[in-house]
A and B are shown apart, each in its own frame.
Chain A
Amino acid sequence: MSLLLQVLVSGLAAGAVYGLVAIALVLVYRLTGIVYFAFGDLVGLAVFAALLVAAGTGPVTQTNVGPLRFLVAVAVGTIICIGTSAAAYWLAVHPHVARGSVVGWIAATIAIAYAVRTSIDVFFTRPSYVFPDPLPFQDVGRGGFVSVGGASIQVRAFFVIAVGSALAVLATVVLRRSKLGRGLRAIESDVEGAALSGIPVDGLIAAAFGLTGGLAALAAVVAAPSASFGVDAGSLLGVKALLAAIAVGFSSPAAGFVAGLGVGVVEAGIANFHVAGLQLGPAYHEVLPIALVLVFVAVRALATQGGVTLRET
């Protein structure tokens, strides 16, 4: 029971960030037909930009940053993520989309991911970094952990879950209720029709990029102090989010978020799994979810000969 709680809390905290990146991936796919492979790396860029503002590139202790400076850092990171993401899309990806070149946009999004990753490498040369935490979670419980029925749970995880869920709800409400959301749904169902009826297609797509990319970056920065953040953590974040998005067939942003939570919990579960002498352990926690989702996609594709959502038209 206690183990289950521990798995659930740590899994949901990781999954909330996966889910927010998945929201961005699904939304962009449904609007433009492209999978923006660089999203995870761009979110990683946001985290490192924030780190640069908050603490520079040197060694960091957990507490040496004030709240104001942290807020500025979060804002800078988020804005850099939004700006780079949208600019890279319009400069490098959109030309390929416009001429209908699928291999073109795939290569461009992957090349953006690589460029972002190398630009992080220029400033941050160690393999991983500790992110300063302005909120005094260490003072709660025993060094930031509380024990519930024998399981020790990081207090910070609750905060990350709360912020992540709030951001996801915000995204969903904006997409469902606002004028922006209605315009995006019109673009989603028929781009040309939307353009003809006076909807500023390009502007709205840019806004969608900004909104979802910004939320994902925000969540990642908020979650970053929970553990050390590696230079390739952004790329991995993108992979987990893709896993969530393809598990639900890129069907809706909300489904993508829930699937992201699922990926987080399954990972945590696998890392802690031991039943009747059988133990999976941490070696499997990244590999097995990918394998499971791939098997699921394969079975679905073969059973339905591509299916309605996956089949090429």
Chain B
Amino acid sequence: MAGTAALVQTRNAVVEAAHEARVGWNRRATAAVVVLALAALVPALPLDVSLDGLAADLYLGAAAVGLGMIVGLGGMPSLGHGAFVAIGAFGTALLSDRLDWPTEAALVGGVVVAAIAGAAVGTVAGFLRPALVAVVSWLIAWLVFLGLAAFPSVSGGSQGLILEEGTVVGLRLSATLHYELGVALAALALLVFVVLSRSPAGVALAAARQNRAAAEGLGAPVARLRAAVFALGAGIGGLAGGLAVYLAGVADAAAYGPLLSAKLFIAVVLGGAVAPAGGLVGVAVLAALSRLVELGGLDSVQAARVEALLVAVIVLAALGTIERGLLPSLTDWRRRRRGGEPREVAAARHEPPIVDAPASVRGRGLTKRFGSVTALEDVDLDIQAATVHALIGPNGSGKTTALAVLAGAVAPDAGTVAMSGHEPGVVRTLQATAVFPELTALENALVGARPGLGHRVARAVLATPKARADARAARAGAQSALDVVGLGAAADVRAHELPGSAQRRLMIASALATRPRVLLLDEPTAGAGYSEVDLLADLIRDLRSSGLTIVLVEHNLRLVRRVADRITVLEAGRVIADGTIDEVVENEAVLKAYLGGPRN
């Protein structure tokens, strides 16, 4: 009966997927389907257009959407996308020409090679700052171009690799079929972009674009996600390149120069990097512009060169005037017209979920030096399970370093950190501004939604049942974390539209969404008002009652006095006092450190 069970399971999965599609459907989706249908009908209409030219533009547009994922979603400004288009093109051409692979297999082969190259580059790019990603990828564009020129045995030299007309599933690849494939590829690339940007992986990437350190602190595997997005974008570029080779009938190295990479990047920025359709719009604008300029021009080589210069200058001017690209500017304008008032946020809080196994943390002999500065010197810390333990001390006394060492974000030069139980579960919030301003409150919390849950690019793109279940669980976890801090009603509000106090609680919600057993809070009251401190104190006490162990670095002694069970005082990297609040305030060394007296 295993067969029947599998059938029932499949049926349920399909029904569920259909339901989710219905729930997620909106006006934009309808508009997209209508545009797609109209685009697919173009060859049937009595129009005097060159389907060859349109198909080439569509392939270029699909490649640009792939680049849009790398730039807009991954935050990696790649100036080398043309190289991956070229790798897909020549991979496909070589497989077809030298090994006589059938069209479909050659295309798949080209995509795989391009995606592998993309994964390799993305693995490095994921660690680099954006300016250097641009440099490295620009060098790759030149490497592939010069390499193809230098080795005519691979690239076919100046005449290129000539291909026979391909057939896909028995159909001859005519101009009409190429056009329809172009529409399909562009639509597929758009769909992948939209699905990915809404998944937990996409949210984590968006968070990393705004504040990488905070996203990594919440457990988002930023470098791995970036490598995966790079591979995906490169694969789409490679497929576009392979199809374009069949369309042109030849793979010519001269067509894949750095200029192609530059053109794709400019198209993406022009259309808007963060908008899925940005690349497509950018390519359309560039194509329309060069055709418009041609209309007025003379029919000579000289005129063509002047036209190219004219296009370059117009593009340069357009880049300067359109702030974030055409599509995002349009969205901003519409949002401004509707008007957005900062929303009231209900403060009702839910009980936090009970922590199954409260954890204690023990640090022994922790020492950390940064160059000649000793941040920590032989520090012992005993943090009891389900208590609030405050670390206080003057500026530069090593509190934040201690927190980073406890979190495992900084390796100590000497000493050990041990946690009771086996599962890891330490999460650290950063100082006040570590919130992702452009994300909604729910998305902020989603960044922390249990590390690994839904952080799989391939699964998210394929929308497998597992990926969708993970995404649902992550969303539910994020929502309940918002409920705990009293932001449940503000789930759809963008973080920067929330008042400061709510932003601070949102940060705690992001940390709670990781389901930690130990929570490290770095100055949660920085810049907070009087009544907020009371609110935070209530929240921290509730969290402690649920079994969470909390380490608090804090200047505000009013908060420390109200919530801390135990206090460790640091000065110049050493522990100068340790005990309950009453014991510590009696301590002379502490008085001296804080008040500068009594002097002797």
What residues of chain A have their CB less than 8 Å away from a CB belonging to chain B? Answer: 29, 33-35, 37, 91-92, 95-96, 99, 101-104, 106-108, 110-115, 118-119, 121-122, 125, 235, 239, 242-243, 245-246, 283-284, 286-287, 290-291, 293-294, 297-298, 301-302, 305-306, 310-313
Contacts and interface: CB of A to CB of B under 8 A. Distances in A.
A234 B320 CA distance: 25
Name the residue among B124, B266, B270 with the largest chain A CB count within 10 angstroms.
Answer: B124
A259 to B, nearest CB: 14
Contact of A302 (B124, B146, B316): B124
Main secondary structure of the interface of A (DSSP, over half): helix
A107 B139 contact: no
Contact of B320 (A33, A95, A313): A95
Contacts of B320: 91-92, 95-96, 108
B305 A122 contact: yes
A310 B139 contact: no
Contact of A108 (B130, B268, B309, B316): B316
Interface in B104-149: 123-124, 127-132, 134-136, 138-140, 142-143, 146-147
A310 B130 CA distance: 9
Contacts of A242: 135, 138-139
A311 B265 contact: no
Contacts, number: 139
Contacts of A107: 265-266, 269-270, 319
B312 A111 contact: yes
Name the residue among B128, B131, B301, B319 with the largest chain A CB count within 10 angstroms.
Answer: B319
Given A121-B305, A242-B139, A92 B134 contact: no
Contact of A104 (B123, B131, B146, B269): B269
Contacts of A115: 309, 312-313, 316
B129 A35 contact: no
Nearest to B304: A121
30 contacts: A29-B131, A35-B134, A37-B79, A92-B316, A92-B319, A92-B320, A96-B319, A99-B323, A101-B323, A102-B131, A106-B131, A106-B265, A107-B269, A108-B319, A114-B315, A118-B308, A119-B309, A121-B305, A122-B305, A125-B301, A246-B136, A286-B146, A287-B147, A294-B140, A301-B127, A301-B128, A302-B127, A305-B127, A311-B129, A312-B130
A118 B305 contact: yes
Interface residues of B, number: 48
B315 A111 contact: yes
A284 B149 CA distance: 11
Contacts of A33: 131
A103 B71 contact: yes
Contact of B265 (A96, A110, A284, A297): A110
A243 B139 contact: yes
Given A103-B268, A106-B131, A118-B312, 9 more contacts: A33-B131, A35-B134, A92-B319, A104-B319, A107-B269, A110-B265, A111-B316, A294-B139, A302-B124
Contact of A297 (B136, B143, B270, B301): B136
